[in-house]
Amino acid sequence: MRKVLSILLILFMIFAFVACDSEVEKTPEGPSGGQSEPVQTNYTVGAVGPAGGYIFYDKGNDEGGWRYLEAAPADLRVINGVPTVDATSDIYKNAAPEDQYVIFGYYRTTPTGDDVFLNGTTTYNAENCTKTAVGTGKANTQLMITVMGATAYVHPSYASADKKEIKSAEYAAKLVDQLTYTVNDKTFDDWFIPSFGEVQLIYQNLYLNSLGGFGAFGYASSSENDKEYQAHGTQTMLIWSFSNNDWDVVFRGNAARVRPVRAF
Protein backbone atom coordinates (compact mmCIF):
# COMPACT_ATOMS: atom_id res chain seq x y z
CA MET A 1 0.00 0.00 0.00
CA ARG A 2 2.81 2.38 0.90
CA LYS A 3 4.43 1.68 -2.48
CA VAL A 4 1.20 2.54 -4.30
CA LEU A 5 0.86 5.83 -2.39
CA SER A 6 4.45 6.73 -3.25
CA ILE A 7 3.78 6.13 -6.94
CA LEU A 8 0.61 8.24 -6.80
CA LEU A 9 2.47 11.06 -5.06
CA ILE A 10 5.19 11.04 -7.72
CA LEU A 11 2.60 11.10 -10.51
CA PHE A 12 0.79 14.00 -8.84
CA MET A 13 4.03 16.00 -8.56
CA ILE A 14 4.83 15.39 -12.24
CA PHE A 15 1.31 16.50 -13.27
CA ALA A 16 1.57 19.65 -11.16
CA PHE A 17 4.95 20.57 -12.66
CA VAL A 18 3.70 20.09 -16.26
CA ALA A 19 0.55 22.11 -15.54
CA CYS A 20 2.53 25.00 -14.07
CA ASP A 21 5.01 24.93 -16.93
CA SER A 22 2.25 25.04 -19.53
CA GLU A 23 0.74 28.06 -17.79
CA VAL A 24 4.03 29.90 -18.11
CA GLU A 25 3.99 29.44 -21.90
CA LYS A 26 0.51 30.94 -22.32
CA THR A 27 -0.02 34.53 -23.38
CA PRO A 28 -1.79 36.41 -20.58
CA GLU A 29 -5.39 37.32 -21.22
CA GLY A 30 -6.34 40.91 -21.80
CA PRO A 31 -9.14 42.78 -20.03
CA SER A 32 -11.75 41.46 -22.48
CA GLY A 33 -10.66 37.87 -22.10
CA GLY A 34 -8.68 37.72 -25.37
CA GLN A 35 -4.94 37.58 -25.72
CA SER A 36 -3.19 40.80 -24.81
CA GLU A 37 -0.74 42.58 -27.10
CA PRO A 38 2.97 41.84 -26.59
CA VAL A 39 4.86 44.19 -24.34
CA GLN A 40 5.98 47.29 -26.31
CA THR A 41 9.66 47.32 -27.14
CA ASN A 42 11.48 50.46 -26.09
CA TYR A 43 13.44 52.25 -28.79
CA THR A 44 16.25 54.76 -28.61
CA VAL A 45 16.71 57.68 -30.99
CA GLY A 46 18.88 56.48 -33.87
CA ALA A 47 17.76 52.86 -33.58
CA VAL A 48 16.09 50.96 -36.43
CA GLY A 49 12.32 51.11 -36.01
CA PRO A 50 9.65 48.47 -36.66
CA ALA A 51 9.05 49.74 -40.23
CA GLY A 52 12.74 49.44 -41.16
CA GLY A 53 13.52 53.15 -40.86
CA TYR A 54 15.17 55.09 -38.05
CA ILE A 55 13.70 56.48 -34.84
CA PHE A 56 14.31 60.23 -34.74
CA TYR A 57 12.17 61.27 -31.78
CA ASP A 58 11.06 59.83 -28.45
CA LYS A 59 8.28 61.82 -26.77
CA GLY A 60 8.78 59.89 -23.55
CA ASN A 61 5.09 59.00 -23.11
CA ASP A 62 2.14 57.54 -25.02
CA GLU A 63 -0.13 60.57 -24.84
CA GLY A 64 -2.14 60.95 -28.02
CA GLY A 65 -1.61 57.28 -28.90
CA TRP A 66 2.03 57.52 -29.93
CA ARG A 67 5.48 57.88 -28.43
CA TYR A 68 8.02 57.52 -31.24
CA LEU A 69 8.52 59.08 -34.67
CA GLU A 70 10.19 56.92 -37.31
CA ALA A 71 11.52 58.11 -40.67
CA ALA A 72 11.03 55.83 -43.66
CA PRO A 73 14.13 53.87 -44.75
CA ALA A 74 14.52 56.00 -47.91
CA ASP A 75 13.21 59.09 -49.70
CA LEU A 76 9.88 58.84 -51.46
CA ARG A 77 10.04 58.01 -55.16
CA VAL A 78 7.16 57.47 -57.57
CA ILE A 79 7.74 54.67 -60.08
CA ASN A 80 5.05 54.25 -62.73
CA GLY A 81 2.60 56.08 -60.52
CA VAL A 82 3.33 53.96 -57.44
CA PRO A 83 4.97 55.55 -54.36
CA THR A 84 7.84 53.58 -52.84
CA VAL A 85 10.61 53.84 -50.24
CA ASP A 86 12.15 50.45 -51.06
CA ALA A 87 15.74 51.46 -51.75
CA THR A 88 16.77 47.80 -52.19
CA SER A 89 14.94 47.40 -55.49
CA ASP A 90 16.69 48.00 -58.81
CA ILE A 91 13.80 50.09 -60.09
CA TYR A 92 14.26 52.44 -57.13
CA LYS A 93 18.03 52.65 -57.55
CA ASN A 94 17.72 53.39 -61.28
CA ALA A 95 14.89 55.91 -60.98
CA ALA A 96 15.09 58.92 -63.27
CA PRO A 97 15.90 62.27 -61.60
CA GLU A 98 12.31 63.48 -62.01
CA ASP A 99 11.05 60.41 -60.12
CA GLN A 100 13.18 61.33 -57.10
CA TYR A 101 11.12 64.44 -56.36
CA VAL A 102 7.40 64.72 -55.67
CA ILE A 103 5.06 67.43 -56.97
CA PHE A 104 3.70 69.11 -53.86
CA GLY A 105 0.49 70.52 -55.29
CA TYR A 106 -1.62 73.49 -54.20
CA TYR A 107 -5.23 74.54 -53.84
CA ARG A 108 -7.72 76.94 -55.41
CA THR A 109 -11.36 77.42 -54.57
CA THR A 110 -12.12 77.78 -58.30
CA PRO A 111 -10.08 76.85 -61.39
CA THR A 112 -9.45 80.49 -62.28
CA GLY A 113 -9.20 81.86 -58.76
CA ASP A 114 -6.24 82.76 -56.59
CA ASP A 115 -3.81 80.20 -55.22
CA VAL A 116 -4.87 79.93 -51.59
CA PHE A 117 -3.78 78.37 -48.34
CA LEU A 118 -5.59 75.34 -46.97
CA ASN A 119 -7.97 77.64 -45.07
CA GLY A 120 -9.35 78.75 -48.44
CA THR A 121 -7.99 82.29 -48.26
CA THR A 122 -4.87 84.16 -49.37
CA THR A 123 -3.98 84.86 -45.72
CA TYR A 124 -2.00 82.38 -43.66
CA ASN A 125 -3.47 81.68 -40.23
CA ALA A 126 -1.75 79.31 -37.80
CA GLU A 127 -5.12 78.30 -36.34
CA ASN A 128 -6.70 76.92 -39.51
CA CYS A 129 -3.69 76.23 -41.74
CA THR A 130 -1.05 73.56 -41.26
CA LYS A 131 1.22 73.83 -38.22
CA THR A 132 4.95 73.56 -37.57
CA ALA A 133 5.24 71.89 -34.15
CA VAL A 134 6.53 68.38 -33.50
CA GLY A 135 3.56 66.05 -33.48
CA THR A 136 1.50 67.92 -36.10
CA GLY A 137 2.77 66.31 -39.31
CA LYS A 138 0.05 63.68 -39.47
CA ALA A 139 -2.76 66.22 -39.03
CA ASN A 140 -1.11 68.51 -41.59
CA THR A 141 -1.00 65.73 -44.18
CA GLN A 142 -4.61 64.78 -43.58
CA LEU A 143 -5.68 68.43 -43.90
CA MET A 144 -4.01 68.65 -47.31
CA ILE A 145 -5.79 65.52 -48.50
CA THR A 146 -9.14 66.67 -47.12
CA VAL A 147 -8.93 70.08 -48.79
CA MET A 148 -7.31 69.16 -52.11
CA GLY A 149 -9.05 65.81 -52.51
CA ALA A 150 -8.29 63.49 -55.40
CA THR A 151 -6.21 66.03 -57.34
CA ALA A 152 -4.14 69.13 -56.67
CA TYR A 153 -3.01 71.97 -58.90
CA VAL A 154 0.44 71.71 -60.45
CA HIS A 155 2.60 74.49 -61.86
CA PRO A 156 2.83 74.73 -65.67
CA SER A 157 6.53 73.80 -65.68
CA TYR A 158 5.53 70.37 -64.35
CA ALA A 159 2.00 70.11 -65.64
CA SER A 160 1.87 70.26 -69.40
CA ALA A 161 3.68 71.06 -72.60
CA ASP A 162 1.35 73.98 -73.35
CA LYS A 163 2.23 75.52 -69.96
CA LYS A 164 -1.34 75.43 -68.64
CA GLU A 165 -1.92 74.71 -64.98
CA ILE A 166 -3.69 71.42 -64.52
CA LYS A 167 -4.59 69.14 -61.63
CA SER A 168 -2.65 66.00 -60.81
CA ALA A 169 -3.54 62.93 -58.78
CA GLU A 170 0.14 62.46 -57.98
CA TYR A 171 0.71 65.08 -55.29
CA ALA A 172 2.84 64.67 -52.18
CA ALA A 173 0.29 64.28 -49.40
CA LYS A 174 -1.84 61.82 -51.34
CA LEU A 175 1.17 59.77 -52.44
CA VAL A 176 2.53 59.53 -48.90
CA ASP A 177 -0.91 58.55 -47.64
CA GLN A 178 -1.04 55.76 -50.26
CA LEU A 179 2.47 54.51 -49.43
CA THR A 180 2.87 50.99 -48.07
CA TYR A 181 6.07 49.28 -46.99
CA THR A 182 6.42 45.71 -45.77
CA VAL A 183 8.98 44.54 -43.20
CA ASN A 184 9.07 40.99 -41.82
CA ASP A 185 5.67 40.22 -43.38
CA LYS A 186 4.05 43.23 -41.72
CA THR A 187 2.81 46.05 -43.95
CA PHE A 188 2.98 49.65 -42.71
CA ASP A 189 0.57 52.13 -44.26
CA ASP A 190 0.44 54.94 -41.68
CA TRP A 191 2.93 57.34 -43.30
CA PHE A 192 2.69 61.13 -43.43
CA ILE A 193 4.78 64.17 -44.37
CA PRO A 194 6.68 65.48 -41.33
CA SER A 195 5.98 68.93 -39.97
CA PHE A 196 8.70 71.59 -40.09
CA GLY A 197 9.71 70.83 -36.50
CA GLU A 198 9.87 67.12 -37.31
CA VAL A 199 12.08 67.66 -40.36
CA GLN A 200 14.49 69.62 -38.16
CA LEU A 201 14.66 66.67 -35.74
CA ILE A 202 15.44 64.35 -38.65
CA TYR A 203 18.31 66.63 -39.61
CA GLN A 204 19.66 66.83 -36.06
CA ASN A 205 19.21 63.22 -34.95
CA LEU A 206 19.71 61.27 -38.17
CA TYR A 207 21.43 63.25 -40.93
CA LEU A 208 24.17 64.68 -38.70
CA ASN A 209 24.83 61.14 -37.44
CA SER A 210 24.94 59.66 -40.97
CA LEU A 211 21.80 57.59 -40.38
CA GLY A 212 18.97 56.98 -42.82
CA GLY A 213 20.72 57.58 -46.13
CA PHE A 214 19.73 61.23 -46.43
CA GLY A 215 21.30 63.40 -49.10
CA ALA A 216 22.38 67.03 -48.91
CA PHE A 217 19.00 68.18 -50.17
CA GLY A 218 16.22 70.44 -49.01
CA TYR A 219 13.57 68.19 -47.46
CA ALA A 220 9.99 69.41 -47.56
CA SER A 221 7.74 69.61 -44.54
CA SER A 222 3.95 69.61 -44.37
CA SER A 223 3.93 73.13 -42.89
CA GLU A 224 2.60 76.06 -44.91
CA ASN A 225 4.36 79.40 -44.87
CA ASP A 226 3.42 82.92 -45.94
CA LYS A 227 6.83 83.81 -47.39
CA GLU A 228 6.52 84.43 -51.13
CA TYR A 229 8.60 82.32 -53.48
CA GLN A 230 9.86 84.53 -56.30
CA ALA A 231 6.89 85.47 -58.51
CA HIS A 232 4.77 82.46 -57.61
CA GLY A 233 2.74 84.04 -54.82
CA THR A 234 2.32 82.86 -51.25
CA GLN A 235 1.67 79.15 -51.86
CA THR A 236 4.82 77.86 -50.14
CA MET A 237 5.80 75.08 -47.77
CA LEU A 238 8.70 75.20 -45.33
CA ILE A 239 11.71 73.03 -46.05
CA TRP A 240 14.95 72.40 -44.18
CA SER A 241 18.14 72.52 -46.22
CA PHE A 242 20.34 69.63 -45.10
CA SER A 243 23.28 71.11 -47.01
CA ASN A 244 23.05 74.59 -45.45
CA ASN A 245 21.50 73.76 -42.07
CA ASP A 246 18.90 76.45 -42.64
CA TRP A 247 15.26 76.86 -43.52
CA ASP A 248 13.82 77.81 -46.88
CA VAL A 249 10.54 77.56 -48.77
CA VAL A 250 9.41 75.62 -51.82
CA PHE A 251 6.63 76.77 -54.10
CA ARG A 252 3.88 74.19 -53.78
CA GLY A 253 3.39 74.07 -57.54
CA ASN A 254 6.88 72.62 -57.95
CA ALA A 255 8.46 69.35 -56.87
CA ALA A 256 10.27 68.63 -53.62
CA ARG A 257 12.25 65.92 -51.87
CA VAL A 258 10.10 64.11 -49.29
CA ARG A 259 10.98 61.61 -46.55
CA PRO A 260 7.79 60.05 -45.15
CA VAL A 261 7.51 59.38 -41.42
CA ARG A 262 5.17 57.55 -39.07
CA ALA A 263 4.17 57.79 -35.40
CA PHE A 264 3.64 54.82 -33.09
| Dist CA 24 CA 67 (whole Å) | 30
Q: What are phi and psi of 29, to 5 degrees?
A: -80, 145
CA distances from 20 to 17, 23, 24, 33, 191 (A): 5, 5, 7, 20, 44
Element (H or E) spanning 3, and its range? Answer: helix 2-25
Closest to 75 (Cα-Cα) out of 50, 55, 57, 93: 93
What is the C-alpha end-to-end distance of the chain, expressed in Å? 64
Residue 257 in contact with residue 73, Cβ under 8 Å? no
Higher per-residue pLDDT: 56 or 37 = 56
* Sign, Cα dihedral of 110, 115, 117, 118: positive
pLDDT, tens digit, 9 for 90 and up, residues 171-229: 999 999 999 999 999 999 999 999 999 999 999 999 999 999 999 999 999 999 887 66
Quickly count: other Cβ atoms within 10 Å of residue 206's Cβ: 23
| Dist CA 245 CA 1 (whole Å) | 88
**Average pLDDT, integer, range 122-151:** 95
Q: How confident is the model at residue 233 (pLDDT cuts 50, 70, 90)?
A: low
Task: Enter the pTM of the model.
Answer: 0.82
Concatenate the DSSP letters of all residues of 202-259 into one string.
Answer: HHHHTGGGT-S---SSEEEEEEEE----TTS-S-EEEEEETTTTEEEEEETTSEEB--
Whether 115 has a pLDDT exceeding 90, the answer reads: no
Q: How confident is the model at residue 97 (pLDDT cuts 50, 70, 90)?
A: confident
Q: What percent of the chain has pLDDT over 90?
A: 62
Residue 146: the pLDDT is 97
